[in-house]
Amino acid sequence: MTLYPRHAPKATIKTYMYDERYHLQLIHSTPLDDVPLCLFPFEGRLLASVGKSLRIYELGKRKLLRKCEYKNIPEGIMWMHVKNDKIYAADLRESFHIFKYRRTDNQLFVMADDSVPRWITCATVLDNVTMAGADKFDNFFIARVPEEARDDEGGDLTGLRLKADTAYLTGATPKLEHVVQFHVGDTITALEKTTLAQGGSELICFSTLLGSIGAFYPFASREEVDFFAHLEMFVRSEKSPLCGRDHIAYRSYHFPVQNCVDGDLCEQFMTLSADKQRLIASELDRTPAEIIKKLEDMRNRLL
């Protein structure tokens, strides 16, 4: 295989079947004209990202049968997830695309896509309209499908009767709304919406290239948001980073930090001197002990 320009002399999708003893048996091989990047089940069929196209295959007797194809993918889809008839996909360098399958016309069309080019490394679906992702430049973000795209029930978004992949080229597709932006400082390699303890709250757990494990946790109330946002602001002014770098500039390295509080910085409150702790606590109308208890409660809630 040649990486640039991307070319493979031969590519296939091999279909296997296993018996009650879990012994694999090759059913058939389907030749492809480009490199398959990822596969995902879709309504009893196979959703395949092949080169710069997205295809739906059905199982045939001698090979997989191509039933639908969407062309004009910018670079190639490297991650997919399906909920009902919606397909959440991440392009190698053009971030998220939300597809919908129109059964009556047997067509795939783009409901919404991202206006910011991102080299996605991993992603996860949070709910029907919200996705979380990370790119290779150490950024974490959460994107949401806009209201006008959610209400669409399969109509032509351009107002014209165009082919599905032609409508995407007109630029008329709605753009995803970014609700969270945060520079982690290390390339995220895995994202998962999960709970770390039985009965615990849901969070987004992540791992990084250098071996770190962290979590993004949603605040339960507006009071918590105000408290931790102000605590972060006061700790930032009292305890500068070790290397002298501006904290806001670091967390906003590529995109301005948005709707995210740096928990690592907030925990630095416990390392401050007693005088600085009392000064910050007075600004928050609390005692240092109450702030430390609040930080410990937040950590215990995660674990």
Q: What pLDDT digit, counting tens, does each position of 114-129 carry?
A: 999 999 999 999 999 9
pTM of the model: 0.88
- What phi and psi values does residue 103 have, to the nearest 5 degrees? -70, -35
Mean pLDDT of 216-230: 93
The answer to whether residue 159 scores a pLDDT higher than 50 is no
- What phi and psi values does residue 295 have, to the nearest 5 degrees? -65, -40
The answer to whether residue 299 scores a pLDDT higher than 80 is yes
Mean pLDDT of 153-178: 61
Residues 109 and 232 grouped into a single domain: no
Mean pLDDT of 191-213: 91
Sheet holding 45-50, edge to edge: 36-42, 45-50, 53-59, 64-70
Per-residue pLDDT, 90: 95
- What phi and psi values does residue 140 have, to the nearest 5 degrees? -115, 140
Domain count, the chain: 2
Per-residue pLDDT, 169: 53
Residues 173 and 265 grouped into a single domain: no
Considering the domain boundaries, does residue 4 fall inside one?
no
- The range of the structural domain enclosing residue 244 comes to 220-302
Which one of 208, 233, 259 terminates a domain?
A: 208
Residues 150 and 31 grouped into a single domain: yes
Residues 189 and 254 grouped into a single domain: no
Q: CATH number of the domain that 265 lies in?
A: 1.10.150.910
List the beta bridge partners of residue 110.
99
Confidence of residue 26 (pLDDT cuts 50, 70, 90): very high
